[in-house]
Chain A
Amino acid sequence: MNVYLKNTLRFCIIILLQVLILNKITLRWWSEPGFPIFIPYVYPLFILLLPFETPVWALLIMGFILGTTVDSFMNTAGMHACATVLIAYLRTNVLSALLPRNLSEYAGQSPSIRSMSWMPFLVYSAFLIVLHHFVFFTIELWNVSNFGFLLLKILASSITSMLFIVVYLLLFTKQSTSRI
């Protein structure tokens, strides 16, 4: 499939998945009063899965569009966009730090479990997701004096989002060899 068409489709699917399904799932690890409730965010995955050779300016602009779209659905003008643009900017640096070869040698491929193998891909996505959640929740809970609550919310929602992202990847990646 054409790479542009594929990514446009993925953009729509991820936005609809996030807005129509995941936003309705309010999660909480324990039901004690001091414990934060949150929803899992998987939409940064769109930025994480763009092809290796995408130039930084294109990443930035797509990050901004993605962020504002999510913002407009959730009435959080600018907050998601701010966090998403940041991870779009840092994506290339993180990738080149993690991959053994130069980024230009991976022409025509996208970051995935198959092209990067499990561990580097998980480190790559976990780093950027935690960063995204950190920025987003810091902006959202700006005037909350309770710093422990903020950290707890970042930690809990990052881990939950990562679980959802792994599930998404397992569902939507083609298996190269059949396991039977």
Chain B
Amino acid sequence: MQIHKDVRNFILFIRRFFNLILFLGLEIICVVLIERTNTLQGNDIVSSANMVSGIVYKKQSDVVYYFGLRKMNDSLLNENVRLRKEIDQVRTLDTLKDSLVHRKIYPDDSSTHIVKYADYMYRTARVISNSTTASDNYITIDRGSKDGISKNMAVISGTGIVGRVEHVSAHYASVLSILSSKQKVSAKLKDGNNGYIIWDEKQPDVLIMTDVPQQAKVKKGDSVYTAIFSIFSPDILIGTVLKVETVKKNAMQLLYLQSSTNFHNLQYVYVIENKMITERKQLEDSTAKK
């Protein structure tokens, strides 16, 4: 009888506080979801890479795409001009003097003196959704694992860096842009001094470069590029210096950069696959263990 009464009391308790219990339960689910996004694996269920939101964004982008064609054409022309200039610079190099750099790589050559270029694979993708106002901004693209996209690949636009792939589904992927508090990108100045790029969540065009040593001479208007040890291929433009500040605490310089990518009207991006990154990562991890 005692047990029966207890069970009855318990059921009455549940019925009385059912709303409160449901409320607390749902809030706990939310908190767990929020917590999981802060881990490295992220959370693929509630992200814009999933099927439904991917399709909605894709349909919208199909409609809006045509309005932006003119702007996109201009930006492609600009990029072509820049690439042509770079080709011309390479052509005019004295190849006889610099023969080592331009030596071809033979697959069966076991010589240790060969200069090997890192292998990068570029894939184009269309931006189907974009944000600049949140504190972690995401971009959704219309390529997914079926097109060879995988997590942590670097993403650049025609004018500069964009971000890193975070969630992937079969046909879509969402990219965490550098307008985020969650990621740092290694960057370098023209004279070779390195630093990190962060974002202060305030203006979508202004990035901050920290940890620049005091002795680096920086002027307003200098360009900042990606460093070789980031996931991006080296020498991609990040931005130009707007303002230089000195932090008194650790005698480092703080640079405010005008981002070279216009995040407001991103139309298409390139996803970079670094084929050597897993090998490099393995080596670095095994060194770190020792």
Contact = CB atoms under 8 A, between A and B. Distances in A.
Contacts of B134: 74-76, 140
Interface stretch (B88-96, B103-111, B196-204): B196-204
Interface string A7-51: 000000000100110010010000001101111000000000000
Among A61, A71, A141, A143, max chain B CB count under 10 A is at: A71
A134 to B, nearest CB: 15
Contact of B19 (A60, A67, A74): A60
A82 B30 contact: yes
Interface string A62-87: 01100110011111111101100110
Interface residues of B, number: 42
Contacts of B132: 26, 37
A57 interface: yes
Contacts of B18: 57
Contacts of A39: 133
A97 interface: no
B87 interface: no
B131 A20 contact: no
Contacts of A144: 135, 201
Given A26-B133, A77-B47, A57 B27 contact: no
Given A37-B204, A85-B26, A77 B136 contact: no
Given A23-B131, A72-B47, A78 B34 contact: yes
Most interface-central of A33, A72, A73 (chain B CB within 10 A)? A73
A85 B30 contact: yes
Given A37-B132, A60-B19, A68-B46, A73 B56 contact: yes
Give chain A's interface secondary structure class.
helix
A164 interface: no
B30 A73 contact: no
Interface in B24-77: 26-27, 29-34, 36-37, 43, 45-48, 50, 52-53, 56-57, 60
30 contacts: A19-B53, A19-B56, A20-B56, A23-B131, A26-B204, A33-B202, A33-B206, A37-B204, A39-B133, A56-B22, A60-B22, A60-B23, A61-B22, A64-B26, A64-B29, A73-B53, A73-B56, A74-B134, A74-B138, A75-B136, A78-B32, A78-B37, A78-B46, A81-B26, A81-B29, A81-B30, A82-B34, A85-B26, A89-B23, A144-B135
Interface of B: 18-19, 22-23, 26-27, 29-34, 36-37, 43, 45-48, 50, 52-53, 56-57, 60, 129, 131-136, 138, 167, 174, 181, 201-204, 206, 264
Interface of A: 16, 19-20, 23, 26, 33-34, 36-39, 56-57, 60-61, 63-64, 67-68, 71-79, 81-82, 85-86, 89, 139-141, 143-144, 149
